[in-house]
Amino acid sequence: MNKPLRHIAVFCGVLVLALLVQATWVQFARSDELASDPHNRRVRIEAFSQPRGDIIVGGESITGSVQTSGSDFKYKRVFTNGPMYAPVTGYFSQAQGATFLEGVHSDVLGGKDSRLLSSPLSLLTGEKPHGGDVVTTIDPKAQKAAYKGLTDLDAKGAVVALDPRTGKILAMVSTPSYDPSVFAGMSGKEGEEFQRLDKNKDKPLSNRAIRETYPPGSTFKILTAAAALEHGTVTDINAPSGIPAPYQLPLSRTKIGNVVPDAQCDKVSMKTGMQWSCNNIFLDAAHKTGKDQMRETAEKFGFNKEQFTPVRTAASGYPGELDQPQTALTGMGQGSVTSTPLQMAMVTAGLANDGKVMKPYMVDELRGPDLSTIEKAEPEELNQAVSDSAAKKVQEMMEYTVSDGTGSKVKIDGVTVGGKPGTAQHGANVNDERPYAWFVSYAKQSDGSSPVAVAVLVDPKDMNISRSDIAGGRLGAPIAKAVMEAVLKR
């Protein structure tokens, strides 16, 4: 072979080798990257090429798949009671992608999870597995009670209910909500509907239960009490405190009063302070417990950390750097402390469970199309936040608050109920914004265990009620009661 031909042969060989290397690199090293690229239309076509598995609530499917025409996307998603369950399911849209359970467990629902293969030969034959199901922990009656409670008020807000013994999420509602079915396809009309929802000032696409944080107001006093008891700041919940009302913040001339007459809170015990939600008692308890021990207890309940249910939540916050007045203000859930409704449900559930906080979760089981179990959830302890003795003292105070105090609207005949209402000021000038109304509660069975704890948040900004009528006991308690009754009747 002459020299020019040899050079050409070598050059062609190099080109072929480069082509093989590139093909190998694309098919193996970059396969996952290309498969997840949102601009890869073939992947999206495949995702909508067959019916999807379902999300299950109370033994019934709340999702489905229907055939479409005029598109290379063969199927699209439909949702039953879409607005009520949207904070759980999220959406699965041909144009907008997937969120919440539809997104987190997309591989199982779409049949891509390797555990769904019927046999090892499936890998060789190219057999495409059918989608599996996601079985949730949601109690349909509790979910309905929570959604009805908020929508009957025509309020923005959220409700979360937990089983304190296991951490199962029994209800998760956020209002205003949306129907994921209305923008599940690719049509221009559906795209316009998504844009309308996305730009709506009331933020219907936002999950207020787990993705937004708020000042928890007086509901946080149950955590303040737990921290004070755990660290020895308070030892006797029935002893007079000697704390005057109104309360002067440390290193400040500012005095904080109470909703009830100050004389009703002057120098009272912590139990009486909880009964009438006396700010002076809990401001002083937080100040004397100190920012580090307050934060330590808050973090054991789940603050300052994202939770995965498996959907990721926003982190509730107890700040690290606080001066003495700011530390005192956290005792009544004001200042710079923030919480999701899920987090306050975790605090309530942990106290109802004798100080043991269970990790919250809302998927009980993943199963194949043949109904075989491919993954089963097991309850998992998050922390022993406080001792059982400290927790039981807080229970005593919360139950007294329901039987003889500001939480009376959550009473259930024949059932022991503990609760705490709260009203949370917010905004640059606290008098400029209408306060949030909170209510947290739990119900006990005859054996002393608690099957349900609830946190209710109502944002009355656009409600047609006077500011004086905004109170957690008035707005949130009836919702909490209805949710607890739904679980207890189960």
Question: Has residue 288 been placed in a domain?
Answer: yes
Question: Has residue 87 been placed in a domain?
Answer: no
Q: What tokens were used for 91?
A: 């959406």
For residue range 352-369, what is the model confidence (pLDDT) as tens digits?
999 999 999 999 999 999
> 442: exposed, middle or buried (C-beta count within 10 Å: 0-12, 13-18, 19+)?
buried
In sequence order, what are the residues at sequence separation of 6 or more whose Cβ sits closer than 8 angstroms to the Cβ of residue 326? Answer: 291, 319, 335, 336
Place of tokens 């690290």: 320
What is the C-alpha to C-alpha distance for residues 216 and 120, in angstroms, rounded to an integer?
53
Question: Has residue 256 been placed in a domain?
Answer: yes
How many Cβ atoms sit within 10 Å of the Cβ of residue 230?
23
Question: Has residue 35 been placed in a domain?
Answer: no
pLDDT at 342 over 90: yes
* Average pLDDT score over the chain: 90
pTM of the model: 0.90
pLDDT at 69 over 90: no
pLDDT at 121 over 50: no
Q: What tokens were used for 140?
A: 């349909």
- The CATH number for 296's domain is 3.40.710.10
What is the C-alpha to C-alpha distance for residues 32 and 352, in angstroms, rounded to an integer?
45
The count of domains in the chain is 1
pLDDT at 402 over 80: yes
Contact 364, 383 (CB under 8 A): no
For residue range 1-13, what is the model confidence (pLDDT) as tens digits?
577 767 677 777 7
What is the C-alpha to C-alpha distance for residues 62 and 387, in angstroms, rounded to an integer?
40
Question: Has residue 321 been placed in a domain?
Answer: yes
| Residue 218 annotated in active site | yes
Q: Which of 59-73, 366-380, 468-482 has the highest mean pLDDT?
A: 366-380
Question: Has residue 170 been placed in a domain?
Answer: no
- What is the DSSP-derived secondary structure letter of residue 216? -
> 248: exposed, middle or buried (C-beta count within 10 Å: 0-12, 13-18, 19+)?
middle
Candidates 218, 277, 339, 450; catalytic one: 218
pLDDT at 146 over 60: yes
Confidence of residue 148 (pLDDT cuts 50, 70, 90): very high
CA angle 333, 338, 343 (to 5 degrees): 95
Residue of higher predicted confidence among 163 and 35 = 163
DSSP strand E in 155-244: where?
A: 156-162, 169-175
pLDDT at 12: 76
Question: Has residue 124 been placed in a domain?
Answer: no
261-268 CB contacts, 8 Å cutoff, 24+ apart: 267/240, 267/241, 267/242, 267/243, 268/240, 268/241, 268/243
Across 84-95, average pLDDT: 96
- Find the range with the poorest average confidence among 33-42, 43-52, 163-172, 273-282: 33-42
Beta strand 55-57 with 133-136: parallel, antiparallel or unpaired?
A: parallel
Across 330-353, average pLDDT: 97
Question: Has residue 82 been placed in a domain?
Answer: no
For residue range 433-486, what is the model confidence (pLDDT) as tens digits?
788 899 999 999 989 899 999 999 999 877 767 666 676 678 999 999 999 999
Sheet holding 416-424, edge to edge: 169-175, 156-162, 452-459, 436-444, 416-424
Across 291-310, average pLDDT: 98
Which residue segment(s) compose the domain that 352 sits in? 217-363+378-488
Across 33-45, average pLDDT: 62
pLDDT at 27: 65
